Amino acid sequence: MDIRELKISGAWEITPRQFGDNRGVFLEWFKSSAFTAATGRNLELAQANCSVSAAGSLRGIHFTDAPPGQAKYVTCVKGAFLDVIVDLRVGSPTFGEWDSVLIDDIDRKAVYLSEGLGHAILSLEDGSTVMYLCSIEYSPQFDRDLDPFDPELNIAWPTTDRAGHPLAYELSAKDSAAPSLEALRTQGLLPRF
């Protein structure tokens, strides 16, 4: 597998090697030894999640108070998502910046994001399915949200789906009501670098 660090420190793109024949395709979507060698980190697995989304479903920007923080290893097993990572760590050289990776069922890339980083996914096809490995179990008391359309972040969300059709964004009520980066900063709710 090929692993490269994204422009945000603590976030990586993982591209597996795929082996195909007339039966289909085989790949290792996570391998502890390769991951640790490339990132210098261990992934402690506490929870695994699966989410299926219609085209236009925008989930996030989510993050967890740090400490304890929640690291995530995310891949798409069906369809396509734009995976967006936002640096929310006050004091980080890339604070407020974002990077993205197209995760889909063609290249089968994965994304790893460290504790303190924000995360969002936008489904680009009906039935798109994402799988997450999480370093801690979901703990609602530590869960935070950030407005994915905050102009301070200026995220370039796609306006068309995988087939080129216009996207209508669908957000949960919780994500629709998420505060701005400035509000979270003012309230002292952002992680520190």
Q: What are phi and psi of 182, to 5 degrees?
A: -60, -40
Q: Side by side, which strands form the sheet with 72-78?
A: 2-5, 11-15, 110-113, 72-78, 128-134, 47-53
Report whether the peptide linkage leading into residue 61 is cis, meaning its omega lies within 30 degrees of zero: yes
Known catalytic residue at 119: no
Known catalytic residue at 73: no
Distance CA(74)–CA(16), nearest Å, equals 13
Q: What are phi and psi of 142, to 5 degrees?
A: -105, -5
Selected catalytic residue, list 73, 112, 119, 132: 132
For the annotated catalytic residues, the residue numbers are: 62, 132
